[in-house]
A and B are shown apart, each in its own frame.
Chain A
Amino acid sequence: MRRTVVVLAGLALLAAGCGKSGHESGGKVVVAVDIPVTGSPYIAQTIRQGLELATSGINSGGGLIVGDRSYQLDVKVYDNHLSARRAVADTRSALDADAVAIVTDGTGADATWQIAGKENVPVGIVYDGASGLVDPQSRPNVFRIAPTNHGMAFRYAEYLIPKKLKIGLLHDDSAYGQEGSADIEKAFSENPESVATRLTLPAGSSDLSAQILRARRSGATALLVWGQPPTIAAVLTAARSLGWQVPVYAPPTGADPYIRQRLADHPDWVDGLTFAGSRLTAEVGTGPFLSFQSQYESTYGADKVGVKTSDGKAVVQPPEFAMYSYDFAHVLVAALTRAGSLDSKRVLAALNQVTTQGANGDERGFNEHNHEGVVDDDVYFARFHDMTYAPVKDDPLSSTLPSIPQTR
Chain B
Amino acid sequence: MSPRASVLIAFAALALALPAAAASERRQQVVLPGPVPYPTPVPPLVGKTALPQLYIAPGLHIGSNQRVNVGVGPAGRPDRIRVRQRLLIRGKGDYQLAISGPIDDVSAAPGTQSSPGLRSDQLLWAGFSPGRKVLAADAFLRVRDAAPYLPLRLHIERDGDRAVLAVANATVVPQQVYTGKVQLPELARLLDETRRASLGGVRLKGTFANFIGEVRTLKQPVRIAAPLRVQGELTLPGQAPVSFDRTLGDGHPLSFQVEARGQGVPKVHLQARPEPVVRELRPPGASTWAAALSRSPQPVEKVVHRLMTTRLQIVRADQFQSFLADPDADGRARSVYEYETVAVKPHREAAASEPQDDSGSDALLVALAVIGSVVVAGGGLVAWAHS
Contact = CB atoms under 8 A, between A and B. Distances in A.
Interface stretch (B76-84, B123-131, B339-347, B358-366): B123-131
Interface string B103-122: 00010000000111111100
B119 A353 contact: yes
Contacts of A370: 115, 117
A396 B92 contact: yes
Contacts of B126: 363, 375, 377
Contacts of A400: 92-93
A207 interface: no
Interface string B191-205: 000000000000000
A365 B115 CA distance: 15
A347 B275 CA distance: 48
A368 B104 CA distance: 11
A377 B57 CA distance: 14
A314 B49 CA distance: 50
A378 B128 CA distance: 7
Contact of A353 (B120, B128, B131): B120
A286 interface: no
Contact of A369 (B53, B118, B120): B118
A278 B220 CA distance: 61
A363 B131 contact: no
B130 A367 contact: no
B94 A282 contact: yes
Contacts of B57: 283
Contacts of B116: 369
B174 interface: no
B52 interface: yes
B132 to A, nearest CB: 10
Contact of A368 (B114, B115, B118, B130): B118
Interface string A392-407: 0000110010000000
Contact of B127 (A282, A353, A367, A375): A375
Given A283-B94, A353-B119, A369-B116, A396 B130 contact: yes
Contacts of B131: 396
A377 B114 contact: yes
B96 interface: yes
A282 B92 CA distance: 13
A120 interface: no
Contacts of B130: 396-397
Interface residues of B, number: 23
Interface residues of A, number: 18
Most chain A C-beta atoms within 10 Å of own C-beta, residue among B49, B53, B124: B124
A282 B120 CA distance: 26
A112 to B, nearest CB: 25
Contacts of A397: 128, 130
B127 A377 contact: yes
Interface centre among A355, A377, A378, A400 (most CB of B within 10 A): A377
A376 B131 CA distance: 16
A212 to B, nearest CB: 33
A372 B120 CA distance: 18
A244 B114 CA distance: 38
A108 B118 CA distance: 28
Contacts of B52: 355, 363, 365
Contact of B117 (A369, A376, A377, A396): A369
Nearest to A352: B119
Contacts of A363: 52-53, 55, 96, 126
B128 A377 contact: yes
Interface in B315-341: none
Contacts of A396: 92, 128, 130-131
A369 B124 CA distance: 10
Interface in A131-183: none
Contacts of A282: 94
A184 B76 CA distance: 50
Contact of B119 (A367, A375, A376, A378): A367
Contacts of B119: 352-353, 367-368
Contacts of A378: 127-128
Interface in A353-374: 353, 355, 363, 365, 367-370
Contacts of B92: 396, 400
B128 to A, nearest CB: 4
Contacts of B96: 363
B128 A369 contact: no
Contact of A367 (B53, B55, B114, B124): B124
A367 B130 CA distance: 24
Contacts of A353: 49, 119-120
Contacts of B106: 369
Nearest to A279: B128
Q: Which one of B49, B115, B116, B126 has the greatest number of beta carbons of chain A within 10 Å?
A: B126
Contacts of A369: 106, 115-118
Nearest to A368: B118
Nearest to A396: B130
A355 B51 CA distance: 11
Nearest to A353: B119
A213 to B, nearest CB: 37
A51 B53 CA distance: 25
B104 to A, nearest CB: 11
Contacts of A367: 117-119, 124
Nearest to A349: B120
Nearest to A397: B128
A363 B94 CA distance: 11
A103 to B, nearest CB: 22
A355 B49 CA distance: 14
B121 to A, nearest CB: 10
Nearest to B127: A377
A377 B127 CA distance: 5
Contacts of A375: 114, 126-127
A247 B316 CA distance: 59
A365 B117 CA distance: 11
Interface in B48-81: 49, 52-53, 55, 57
Nearest to A367: B117
A347 to B, nearest CB: 16
Given A369-B106, A369-B115, A377-B127, 7 more contacts: A353-B119, A363-B52, A363-B126, A367-B124, A369-B117, A369-B118, A378-B128
25 contacts: A282-B94, A283-B57, A283-B93, A283-B94, A353-B49, A353-B119, A355-B53, A363-B55, A363-B96, A367-B117, A367-B118, A367-B119, A368-B118, A369-B106, A369-B116, A369-B117, A375-B114, A375-B127, A376-B114, A376-B127, A377-B114, A377-B126, A377-B127, A396-B131, A400-B92
Interface of A: 282-283, 352-353, 355, 363, 365, 367-370, 375-378, 396-397, 400
